[in-house]
Copies of this chain bind each other. A is one copy, B any other.
């Protein structure tokens, strides 16, 4: 009887959602798309190579924001991450300052002092208190922040209501494409926007936040729900991508919510929670896929769908292990239909597998049936691999849990980029 009722009420919700709620991509959306946010960037020439590119930026809100953050689980964290984590715990902020070129990691007490000073300098630019500024740095590890350059650069920053694109460029390192997006949610009388920017593109691997990503929203959200929805969105987006298995001491994901949309406050229990989560997921998955697609040296996005795992943990583990396999990544780069590399990675993933139940599909073509390789129409299989997005589906038939992970192919270019990064 209970089942019947809950079915009916969830059906009702779906109808309600489809009529009353809408999520739309904002044209040229970025972190300054939500109301009340501005951003600015400058060149501080933090890199050794003095090429005058943008490498220092600030996002700020005219009102104080609720904030939530997720950070690297690497045991060696940068002083900037440690400072940022502490400030996020305090729960409120007005701005994020970020730079590229130097990670401020493995820099000890001097690095910690630099992080404090850098956030204070940014606070002065926007007229906030120093501890209202969150911080993130990306770049080479083991080098101190060039504070003279940062002091000079900070003076050049002009905050603009459409400055999100400049900010995005300032956090890029080996990224070849900017990664930014915004969606607007209309739900009854309520309208709000979520924007986001991210940078990859090496040292990217599942296990919290795996890169820099900053989200902004003008939605009015309780701190508790903001945190939960960020965690839930990260679990199916940033935590499901891999470029090379390496996490960095700087990985940071932040969200600032300033409430200027004046929507009905979203709590975990409110009807709007679902649509807020959907919009968060959409923004985070968009950015995560953009990071995977733009992995160092990548030519293709790989999507691994695991279906029918015994439980969610194993589904995610399997998807991430397969998408991280160097051998598979290299085979996909070479358009080589070597499905044994899918099963080899699956078999070491820790997920429960019964070979005789296993089906594998490349695109819509079944390549393994009940554990046995299906005689190939090689041309068809190669054609799937030649696409810019290569979807592989692994059906375990062990349970009901599904997960998707994204990664990229492994190319000579990846090696080239990483063989000469500091030089």
Given contacts A107-B372, A327-B202, A373-B106, are A412 and B418 in contact (CB under 8 A)? no
Given contacts A339-B142, A415-B330, A415-B414, are A249 and B106 in contact (CB under 8 A)? no
Given contacts A334-B419, A356-B108, are A326 and B372 in contact (CB under 8 A)? no
Segment of A61-69, A157-165, A240-248 engaged in the interface with chain B: A240-248
- By a CB distance below 8 angstroms, the chain B residues around A203 are 327, 344
- By a CB distance below 8 angstroms, the chain B residues around A333 are 415, 419
Q: List 27 A-B contacts (CB under 8 A).
A: A73-B348, A74-B344, A75-B352, A77-B347, A106-B340, A106-B355, A106-B373, A108-B370, A108-B372, A142-B339, A142-B340, A202-B327, A203-B327, A244-B326, A245-B324, A247-B344, A247-B348, A249-B344, A326-B326, A326-B414, A330-B417, A331-B419, A331-B422, A336-B422, A336-B423, A411-B415, A415-B415
- By a CB distance below 8 angstroms, the chain B residues around A244 are 326-327
Complex CA gap A422/B347 in Å reads 20
Complex CA gap A75/B77 in Å reads 34
Chain A interface secondary structure, helix, strand, loop or mixed? loop
Q: Please tell me if A343 contacts chain B, counting CB pairs below 8 Å.
A: yes
Quickly give the copy total for this chain.
2
Does B246 lie within 8 Å of A348, measured CB to CB?
yes
Given contacts A338-B140, A340-B103, A344-B248, are A326 and B418 in contact (CB under 8 A)? yes
A residues 136-193 near B (Cβ < 8 Å) are 140-143
A interface with B by C-beta (< 8 Å): 73-77, 103, 105-108, 140-143, 202-203, 207, 244-249, 324-327, 330-331, 333-334, 336-341, 343-348, 351-353, 355-356, 358, 368, 370-373, 410-412, 414-423
Does B423 lie within 8 Å of A75, measured CB to CB?
no
- By a CB distance below 8 angstroms, the chain B residues around A371 are 106, 108
- By a CB distance below 8 angstroms, the chain B residues around A326 are 244-246, 326, 414, 418
Given contacts A141-B344, A343-B106, are A331 and B76 in contact (CB under 8 A)? no
Closest to A297 in B: B415
Complex CA gap A143/B246 in Å reads 33
| Residue in A327, A338, A423 whose Cβ sees the most chain B Cβ within 10 Å | A327
Given contacts A244-B326, A326-B244, are A423 and B334 in contact (CB under 8 A)? yes
- By a CB distance below 8 angstroms, the chain B residues around A249 are 340, 343-344, 347
Does A348 lie within 8 Å of B421, measured CB to CB?
no
Complex CA gap A417/B326 in Å reads 12
Closest to A325 in B: B246
Complex CA gap A209/B117 in Å reads 52
- By a CB distance below 8 angstroms, the chain B residues around A411 are 415
Does A245 lie within 8 Å of B106, measured CB to CB?
no
- By a CB distance below 8 angstroms, the chain B residues around A325 are 245-246
Complex CA gap A250/B404 in Å reads 28
Question: B140, B341, B370, B410: which contacts A141 (Cβ < 8 A)?
Answer: B341
- By a CB distance below 8 angstroms, the chain B residues around A324 are 245
Question: B337, B420, B422: which contacts A422 (Cβ < 8 A)?
Answer: B337
Closest to A373 in B: B142
Q: How far is the CB of A408 from chain B (nearest CB, A)?
A: 12
